[in-house]
Chains A and B, each alone.
Chain A
Amino acid sequence: MLRRIADHLFWMARYLERAEWRARLADVNYHLLVENPTGEPQSWAPLLAITGDGELFAEYHDAPNEAQVLDFFTFELRNPSSILSCINAARENARSLRHRLSSELWLEINTLYLDSQQWSHAVFEQGVYGFFSELRNRFHRVGGISHATLPRDIEFDFMTVGTMLERAENVSRLLDSKYHYLLPRLEDVGGTVDRMQWAAVLRSASALEAYRRVYGNQIAVEPVVEFLLFDAGFPRSARFCIDELEAALERIGRAAGGSREISDAASPMGRLAAALRAGKAGAVIGSGLHEFLMEVQDLCAGIGSIIFDKYLRFE
């Protein structure tokens, strides 16, 4: 298998996952604002912080208001991680893969791309919620078509690697941002606002219903962290992502060599898998959730660069 093809598959999956995550994030954040109309303009700042777009945004705008943030976040091409930029990048990768994707998948991605080229602020006039939930559904459709039409082979594994790595990073960033930026005044911890925000975090990960099945109506820091980091069965928990990632890398390693270097106990993959399999929310919060999440993100980056060196770099 050509390295270029592996690279395109990896990045197509990654950009699709990133765009989807952002669509969900915007939706939830908007929702949160509507439900809790404090009117404070800085309520939007967290969105920029979670995605790391704050500095770039500040280069173009002084004080964020809803419209500017939504535009910047959704279809600003100067923002390389706006949803539109991600869709463009995903489609550009898909184009070179076209002959290897199912025609249904290509058609879905290409139609999404063509539609998104028409976006302007007017799309929000019909309702921001409607726009983002429709968009999220379209990403789900892409995912569904991938699963329904692509053979499970090394190519699919490279897509899985891209998706899962991106998702694990996003989950950890999401938790971190809540911990850091959404943390309200001390007296509010455990209060209504806090609970609502944790619910929003769960919703961002499409995890609210799944969470309730396990923990019922009780929404609090510890079980949420436990669920989003360590749950083995939920498809958007960091633990789940890492299990999938490791399995895909093992299959790739068997086909292409080099699995040992990648999932060796001392490698970033091995260390991250161990940390997530043994971890407990209480202990992690006790010794510093932020530090733990930083470690998760560093290890994800480490895995990414090993994958790049081992399989993707073609220069």
Chain B
Amino acid sequence: MVFRVRHATHFQYQAPAYESHNEAHLRPCDDPSQLVLAFDLKVAPQGASIREFRDYFGNRVHSISIYPPHDALTIVASSLVERLPGFGGQPASMRFERYLTDDAVRTRKHCEYLTATRYVPFSDRLRKFFWMSRPRKNEDVVEYVMRTIGFIRDQFGYDTGKTDVHSSLDEILRAGGGVCQDFAHLTLGVLRLAGIPSRYVSGYLAPDPGTDTPGEQATHAWVETLLPGAGWTGFDPTNRCRTDIRHIRVAIGRDYADATPVRGVYRSAAGQNTMRVDLEVCPAPMAPSFGQSQQ
């Protein structure tokens, strides 16, 4: 399945911005489950200095700098991504008490995905929440992950007004609702406390041609957990499901801070700016010229 993605981020400044330095996680990942057939990054104003690099997590990041004053900044990332089904093994069925025998090894090896981070602090509120949804000894690990995201979605409704991109776990727990980023962070918190290495994924969810009507689209976020026999396995708490062919991975990290789509610093006489994101993800006809090795 091939998808065409157009992800435009537009900043409008109240007073001209200058000395603007940004880092963008906008290029989809190349991995066994997806192939980036084409990628293009356009920045206005012209003359921006752009460098691509690979960060600690292996994400391909663009560093975008603009020195002279400008009233607006537009970053448009266009990708053609082929999503390949059938990669990644089926997680082995394993009861929690067995899983825990390797806990010490996992803690050493995957510590960064098991500890508290900026957006996922192990607060008292989170610990209480975890206590309500803690694993049972004889429960299957994959079932536990599914039960956790189900539990989270039962407790918290999708609500765009209650949190923002800087909201921490405690705010979501207090607010009683949130968006995909919040559900991902909350899931990370619970699973990490349970001892399951878990990481944050930012990306896109292509519309389901069967049920979705074309309309406004937004960037998406979900989690991946390290499961016995299967490696990193995606779960989408917002939609209460395993990730599937419609999930397009862009960046991974410990939390939102590691995978922020566009983040930056600029100078300006007035601090205010407005940001608008336009996202279009749609199935594209497979262009024969690409000739990829789809079986």
| CA of A315 to CA of B15, assembled, Å | 14
Contacts of A315 in B (CB 8 A): 18-19, 267
Chain A neighbourhood of B18, CB < 8 A: 315
A309 to chain B, nearest CB (A): 14
Residue interface bits A283-315, CB-to-B below 8 A is 1, else 0: 000000000000000000000000000000001
A315 — nearest CB in chain B belongs to which residue?
B267
Segment 128-183 of A: residues with Cβ below 8 Å from B: none
Within 8 A of B (CB), among A45-88: none
Min C-beta distance of A180 to chain B, whole Å = 35
Could you tell me the dominant secondary structure of chain A's interface residues?
Answer: loop
Nearest CB of chain B from residue A282's CB, rounded to whole Å: 46
> Chain B interface residue count: which class?
under 10
A146, B3: Cα distance in complex, Å:
72
Chain A residues with CB below 8 A from B267, complex form: 315
The complex places the Cα of A301 from the Cα of B135 at a distance, in Å, of 73
Interface 0/1 of B11-37, CB less than 8 Å to A: 000000011000000000000000000
* A315 and B267 alpha carbons, distance in the complex (Å): 8
- Distance between Cα atoms of A315 and B69 in the complex (Å): 11
Bound together, the chains give a CA A24 to CA B267 distance in angstroms of: 41
A315 to B16, CA, bound (A): 12
A315 to B19, CA, bound (A): 9
**Which A residue sits closest to B18, measured CB to CB?**
A315
CA distance A315 to B68 in the complex (A): 11
Chain A residues whose CB sits within 8 angstroms of the CB of B19 once the complex forms: 315
Closest-by-CB residue of A relative to B19 is A315
A315 to B266, CA, bound (A): 11
Docked complex: B13-72 residues within 8 A CB-CB of A: 18-19
User: What residue in chain A is nearest B269 (Cβ atoms)?
Assistant: A315
A315 to B18, CA, bound (A): 9
Query: Which residue of chain A has the shortest Cβ distance to B267 in the bound complex?
Result: A315
Determine how close the nearest CB of chain B comes to the CB of A305; give it in whole angstroms.
Answer: 16
Whole-angstrom distance between the Cβ of B113 and the nearest chain A Cβ: 41
Q: In the complex, how many angstroms separate the beta carbon of B270 from the nearest chain A beta carbon?
A: 14
Shortest CB-to-CB span from B115 to chain A, Å, is: 39
> Least Cβ distance of A313 to chain B in Å?
12
Query: How far apart are the CA atoms of A315 and B269 in the complex, in Å?
Result: 10
Distance (Å) between the CB of A63 and the closest chain B CB?
39
> Closest CB-CB distance, A173 to chain B, in whole Å?
29
Q: Residue of A at shortest CB range from B268?
A: A315
The answer for the CA separation of A208 and B19 in the assembled complex, in Å, is 53
**Nearest Cβ on chain B to A115's Cβ, whole angstroms:** 38
A51–B75 Cα gap in the complex (Å)?
Answer: 51
CB distance from B15 to the nearest CB of A (A): 12
B173 smallest CB distance to A (angstroms): 41
User: Measured between C-beta atoms, what is the minimum distance from A315 to chain B in Å?
Assistant: 6
A164 to B23, CA, bound (A): 47
A275–chain B nearest beta-carbon distance, Å: 34
In chain B, positions 265-280 with a C-beta closer than 8 Å to chain A are 267
CB distance from B196 to the nearest CB of A (A): 48
Per-residue CB proximity of B234-248 to A under 8 Å, as 1/0?
000000000000000
In the bound assembly, the distance between CA atoms of A315 and B20 in angstroms comes to 12
**Bound CA span A177–B135, Å:** 84
> Which A92-140 residues have a C-beta within 8 angstroms of B?
none
In the bound complex, what is the Cα–Cα distance between A265 and B13 (angstroms)? Answer: 38
CB distance from B128 to the nearest CB of A (A): 48
Restricting to B223-273, which residues have a CB under 8 Å from any CB of A? Answer: 267
Query: What are 3 inter-chain pairs, A to B, with CB distance below 8 A?
Result: A315-B18, A315-B19, A315-B267
Question: Residues of A at under 8 Å CB distance from B?
Answer: 315
3 nearest A-B pairs in the assembled complex, by CB-CB distance? A315-B267, A315-B19, A315-B18
